[in-house]
Structure 1
Amino acid sequence: MTTTPVTSIVIVLADSGPLTRECVEHALASDVPVNVVVVDNGSTDGIPESLDRAYADDDRVRIVYNRANLGFGPAVNRGVAQSRGARILVLNPDCLVQPDTIRRMAAHMDVHTGIVGAVVCDAEGRPDPASRRRDPLLRRALATKLGRGGDAGIDIDGPIPGGAEEVEIVSGAIILMSRSVFERLRGFDETFFLHCEDMDLCRRARDAGYKVLLAGDVRVLHGKGGSSRHRPVFVSRHKHRSMYLWFRRHDPAARNVFVRMLVWLGIWSHFLLKIPGQLLRKRR
């Protein structure tokens, strides 16, 4: 009889809010063997401690405390190091999986597949366009601005298939990988503190010869909550930094020094222009 591999579910917290409890409950209700590693990045909301108390007698759950916010990728890497499953599911704390989510995602895995993502949806069931993306290359951004078709932009309007679709990037809200692939890729690149680490991981997986698949038949509720609302400027700063870092690492256009300077200026100008609106929304 074939034994179903254990899946280690890694959830990173940073003042992520009460939905985290539901996230863990849903994860433990999976119809495949799982263990859950919750990695806390210095939260002050008491949620990690409440989970520690609630699951003190459940050996499937482990809470790992970081003294400070190490960033998303570094926290995932530490969580994986503390886990034991043959498969790794990276899950946002505002995502709710169903009992069959992991099993159905795993059905699309084979030796040629490095990463499997799912369709993340809002509370009304509307799919998030970020469930499948293309590399944000400069030439694509310019082509989109100029209204050109073909290779321009990201396909966000086409119907989501009922099965697996090969894509360039899946949403980092939920990612399934084998441990062997995760280790071959050396996990998340820890120079990405927050944002774009999923784009980098998918790119490196493809560069290593693996497919990145979207499981179009698997849908997951994504609350879009948590820490981003509490610290909008902090999150935005790291997002813009990561955007430029991804550009430097993966976009052929970055070989040109003049282009690099223009992109750097554009990214950080965009960051500065967004600050007033972010501060106003935070005060409401």
Structure 2
Amino acid sequence: MASLIAVVVAHDSADALPACLAALAAEHVPAIVVDNASRDASAAVAEAAGARVIRNPRNEGYGRANNRGVRAAETAGHVLVLNPDVLLRPGAADALLEAAARWPDAGLYAPRIVEPDGRFFYQARSLLAPYLTNPKGRLALPEGDACAPFLSGACLMVERRLFLDLGGFDEAIFLFYEDDDLCRRVADTGRALVHVHEAVALHGRGRSSAPEPGRVFRTRWHQAWSRAYVSRKYGLPDPSFSGLLANLPKALLSALVFRRAGIERYGGSAAGAWAALRGRGALEREGLR
């Protein structure tokens, strides 16, 4: 059994994949690339790098594609879920596995994710955190390994059996908040989420996919819809109505002054909130159900 297999979901990620897969190979971590109907050479690039490639005939979304990859990693004890624009630094994979051996009762493990400006990502609270709630959002960056309220889906490690037993990522979500939801379900089992400080990964943030027309509108739609979905799922106040009120006037004003960026940004948020209020699903929008 392989101790660790990486799962990388690609969508128009040909530019980012070579460095990501090379870093995994340097760490002796085999990779499964799930290609979400890329229009570029992502699948061919991944195969040339030695990765096993699973081709989805259409874009299935982040969570659904990752679930398919994890199910395919049949020989793995642990799986490492990471974005194509994430590069493991030397020793990161071993540090994550050592943390899992040190705290076997924990549920999720994530490296110190370093952003392009040199700062490292650490989210001090989560909308869904049932513990370590930090309501004032006080940011105290860890100086070593620490329990966390949230670990980013950009790069995290989990025991494969636990992931599958929990049902993987929620497949009703196409994009956004699926990592918050997974963190919540892991925490609800009584397992900790562990920030592993000595494991370092570089994050390109925003370089996972090539730009495409309408991307901002689509992104904002799913952000608004997914926030409403997970809020309802865990009995939190539904933000849809307030989100609609906040964004619709800005979208209309942007339309009046022919400001395309504002139409996409605020119009996407308003449309996602409106869809959530109407009971329309994210998969329905994407033609997946």
Structure 1 residue 9 corresponds to structure 2 residue 2: no
State the match for 1:243 in structure 2: 227
2:147 touches 2:195 (CA, 8 Å); kept in 1?
yes
Equivalent-residue separation in structure 2 for 1:271 and 1:23 (angstroms): 36
Structure 1 residue 98 corresponds to structure 2 residue 81: no
Structure 1 residue 264 corresponds to structure 2 residue 257: no
Equivalent residues in 2 for 1:173-188, closer than 5 Å: 173-188=154-169
TM-score, normalised relative to structure 1: 0.79
| Residues 37-68 of structure 1: per-residue CA shift (max 9 Å, x gap) | 0001111021222322x14xx4xx20010011
Equivalent-residue separation in structure 2 for 1:182 and 1:34 (angstroms): 19
Equivalent-residue separation in structure 2 for 1:24 and 1:47 (angstroms): 12
Q: 1:132 Cα shift?
A: 2.9
Q: 1:17 Cα shift?
A: 4.3
State the match for 1:145 in structure 2: none
Q: 1:207 Cα shift?
A: 0.4
Which of 152, 167, 192 does residue 171 from structure 1 map onto?
Answer: 152
Amino acid at match of 2:148: V
State the match for 2:272 in structure 1: none
Specify whether residues 269 and 45 from structure 1 end up closer, same or farther in structure 2 by C-alpha distance, changes over 3 A only.
farther
Amino acid at match of 1:111: P
Equivalent-residue separation in structure 2 for 1:5 and 1:95 (angstroms): 21
Amino acid at match of 1:241: W
Give secondary structure in 1 for the equivalent of 2:120: coil
Structure 2: where are the runs of 5+ without partners? 255-259, 266-289
| Residues 213-258 of structure 1: per-residue CA shift (max 9 Å, x gap) | 11123221100113384312112211211111111112x434xxxx
State the match for 2:193 in structure 1: 212
Root-mean-square deviation (CA), in Å?
2.4
Specify whether residues 18 and 7 from structure 1 end up closer, same or farther in structure 2 by C-alpha distance, changes over 3 A only.
same
Aligned identity (percent) is: 28
Q: 1:105 Cα shift?
A: 1.5
TM-score, normalised relative to structure 2: 0.78
Q: 1:278 Cα shift?
A: 5.6
Which of 120, 126, 138 does residue 127 from structure 1 map onto?
Answer: 120
Which of 86, 91, 99 does residue 77 from structure 2 map onto?
Answer: 86
Equivalent residues in 2 for 1:47-196, closer than 5 Å: 47-52=42-47, 54-55=48-49, 58=50, 61-83=51-73, 84-109=75-100, 110-128=103-121, 131-136=122-127, 151-156=134-139, 158-162=140-144, 164-196=145-177
Equivalent-residue separation in structure 2 for 1:79 and 1:137 (angstroms): 25
Equivalent-residue separation in structure 2 for 1:181 and 1:212 (angstroms): 13
Which of 25, 36, 57 does residue 28 from structure 1 map onto?
Answer: 25
Specify whether residues 217 and 270 from structure 1 end up closer, same or farther in structure 2 by C-alpha distance, changes over 3 A only.
farther
Equivalent-residue separation in structure 1 for 2:5 and 2:34 (angstroms): 13
Number of equivalent positions: 248
Structure 1 residue 44 corresponds to structure 2 residue 39: yes
Give secondary structure in 1 for the equivalent of 2:89: coil
State the match for 2:282 in structure 1: none
Structure 1: where are the runs of 5+ without partners? 139-149, 255-259
Equivalent-residue separation in structure 1 for 2:109 and 2:262 (angstroms): 33
1:118 touches 1:171 (CA, 8 Å); kept in 2?
no
Q: 1:36 Cα shift?
A: 0.5
1:16 touches 1:226 (CA, 8 Å); kept in 2?
yes
